[in-house]
A = this chain, B = another copy of it.
Amino acid sequence: MAGTARSAANAAEKRRLILDAAVRVFASQGFHACRVSDIADEAGVAYGLVYHYFRSKDQVLDTLFLERWDVMLEAIREVDARDLAARRKLEAIAAFIVDSYRHDPDLMKVIIVEVTRAANSFGQTHIEKINEAYNLIAAVVAKAQDAGEFRSDISPQFAAMAFYGAIEQVLTGWIFATLPQAAGDYDEAKRLIVETICSGLDR
């Protein structure tokens, strides 16, 4: 039935409306500080509807994280599949993450600030998902080492942590307004992260 199809469309839209509202609310108030009714108010729906679509407030955060994280994992896999120099791959990954932030800073803020903490409280559910990303990056490094592109005396796991840590810290700097965010700063950041990690600070 058309009616049913239309309803299903509306239902999906409402769910999305709630998720998008949650991003804004989590970003501005923090996950713990906000109430479910704040999300509902922001979305313009009754708060009961949040529970119609999600089992709990936690699950709203989970959903946001998993949605975005899966997109990122896919992007990293896609980059790794391309026939590129390792350095170009790292550039593409850094670019993807920086662009994700540029495109939706609130969402990235929520994922970085709230999910790490939640990972601690809610058990290990997300940790494995997060590790997948590190492992994918580590695989890029490992292949580069085998190919002689990267030095072999730094473990791929470790290199992945340094690379990802540098990116995340830059985003954190933007989130807390510690680093400047002018027009060219995003592209500059992409370049500098890779330059630092690959070539080092030494002269």
Residues of A within 8 A of B (CB): 29-33, 87, 109, 112-114, 116-121, 124, 127, 130-131, 134, 141, 144, 148-151, 154-155, 157-159, 161-162, 164-170, 172-173, 175-176, 178-179, 189, 192-193, 195-203
Contacts and interface: CB of A to CB of B under 8 A. Distances in A.
Contacts of A159: 196, 201
A121 B189 CA distance: 26
Given A150-B201, A193-B162, A200-B199, A112 B119 contact: no
B112 A117 contact: yes
Main secondary structure of the interface of A (DSSP, over half): helix
A131 B175 CA distance: 13
Contact of A203 (B109, B150, B192, B193): B150
B32 A151 contact: no
B198 A197 contact: no
Shortest 5 CB-CB contacts between residues of A and residues of B: A165-B169, A200-B200, A30-B121, A162-B166, A165-B165
Contacts of A141: 201
A120 B114 CA distance: 9
Nearest to A197: B201
B176 A169 contact: no
Contact of A32 (B119, B121, B131, B172): B121
Contacts of A172: 116-117, 161, 165
